[in-house]
Amino acid sequence: MTEQKKSSDSGKTDYKNIIVTKIANPKGLEVGKIQINRPDVLNALNIELMGELLTALRAFDKDSNVGCIIITGNQKAFAAGADIKEMSSASAIEMYIRDQFATWDNIRKIKKPIIAAVSGFALGGGCELSMTCDMIVAAEGAKFGQPEIKLGVIPGAGGTQRLTRAVGKAKAMEMILTGRMYSAKELCDAGLINRVTPDELYLEEAEGMAKEIASMPSVAVQIAKESILKSFDTTIEGGLEFERRSFYLLFASEDMKEGMNAFIEKRPASWKGK
Ligand code: CAA
C-alpha cells in the first residue's frame, strides 16, 4: 500500500516517434511506458526520436506519480539500430558537431529505474539502448546484436563498454567483431538479460516487474539504482563508501522510519515517497 502520490504531469504528449502512456498500479506508483513508434523502419533511432525519448524520460523522472519506466517497441522490433539513412552521408565533422550520441548519455542520468521490454530486433543502437536501461525483459524470439562492423563502423552508443561489462571480454569481442545476431536465451545465459518469456508475454512480464518496483519506497529505489550504477565507474573502495553514505542518508527519509516501524508492528508499510 502506498500514499506516495502527488498531483503532477508528465508533460507534452504530441510526440511524432514515440507513444507515451501511464499504467495504473493499485499497489503503488504508476508505471510510465514509452513505445518507440517508427514501424516502417523497424524503429530505427533517428535524432528526433532520441530527443523525444529523452524528453519523455525526463518528464517521467519528474512525475511523482511514476515509480518505474518501461521502454518498448513492437513485436517485430525494439529498434534495428541508429537510423543508417540519416547518418550515411554525414562527414566526420558533421557527426562531431551533431554529437548525436551525447543525448544517449543523458538517459543514464534518469534516476528512476528503466526496464527495456524487447521483442524482435534489438540491433546496433537498439541493443545499446536496451543496455542503457537498467534491466532487460525479452521475448524468446528477440534477436540482439551489434552489426555495426558490417557497416564499416563500431558501436557508438556504449556497445563496446556496456556489453563488455555485462557479458565479459570474450563474448563482447565475438559479438562486435562478427556482427552476428544472438537469441535472448543465449544472452540471458551470458548475463545481459534478466528474463526471457514466451513471445506473447514479454510486455506483461516487464509490466509486472515494473509495478513491483513502483510499489517500493521511491527514494530508496532511486538511491539503490544510483549506488549500483556507481559500481561501473569507481573502485570497490569508492563504491563501498558511496553505498554506506547512501544507506545512512536514507535514515533521513520518512519511508525508512515507516518501513522499519511497519515491520516491527507487523503491518504493511504505507510509503510517502519522502
Ligand atoms: N536504419 C534505417 N532504416 C532501417 C534500419 C536502420 N538501422 N533498419 C531497418 N531499416 C529499414 C529498411 O531500410 C527498410 O526500409 P525500406 O522498406 O524503406 O527499404 C525497413 O526498415 C525494413 O527493413 P528490411 O527490409 O531490411 O527488413 P528485413 O526483415 O529484411 O531485415 C534487419 C531486418 C536484419 C534488421 C535489417 O533491416 C537490418 O540489417 N537493419 C540494419 C541493422 C543495423 O545495421 N543496425 C546498426 C545501425 S548503426 C548503429 O546503430 C550505430 C550505433 O552504434 C548507434
Q: Is ligand 1 within 6 A of the CB of residue 128?
A: yes
Residues 6+ apart with CB under 8 A from 153: none
Which of 64, 62, 59, 80 lies closest to 28, judged by CA?
A: 64
Q: Are 20 and 31 in contact (CB under 8 A)?
A: no
**What is the rounded CA–CA span in Å between residue 19 and residue 183?**
27
Question: Does the beta carbon of 176 sit less than 6 angstroms from any atom of ligand 1?
Answer: no
Extended strands (E) in 97-235:
114-118, 121-123, 135-139, 143-145, 181-183, 195-197
What is the reported pLDDT for 1? 45
Q: pLDDT tens for residues 168-203?
A: 999 999 999 999 999 999 999 999 999 999 999 999
Instruction: Give per-residue pLDDT as tens, 119-167.
Output: 999 999 999 999 999 999 999 999 999 999 999 999 999 999 999 999 9
124 CA to centre of ligand 1 in angstroms: 10
Strands 121-123 and 114-118, sheet pairing: unpaired
Q: Residue 28: helix, strand or coil by DSSP? A: coil
Q: Please check whether residue 272 is in contact with residue 4, taking contact to mean a CB–CB distance below 8 angstroms.
A: yes
Phi and psi dihedrals of 122, rounded to 5?
-130, 85
- The amino acid at 111: K
Q: Determine which one of 148, 157, 269, 273 is catalytic.
A: 148
Contact 115, 204 (CB under 8 A): no
Put simply, whether the predicted model's pTM sits higher than 0.85 gets the answer yes
CB of 121 closer than 6 A to ligand 1? Answer: yes
**Does residue 73's CB lie within 6 angstroms of at least one atom of ligand 1?**
no
How confident is residue 4, by pLDDT bands cut at 50, 70 and 90? low
3-state secondary structure of 189: helix
Task: Identify the residue whose C-alpha is closest to ligand 1 atom 8.
Answer: 80
Q: Which atom of ligand 1 is nearest to the CA of 121?
A: 35
- Amino acid 6: pLDDT: 43
Q: Is 82 a catalytic residue?
A: yes
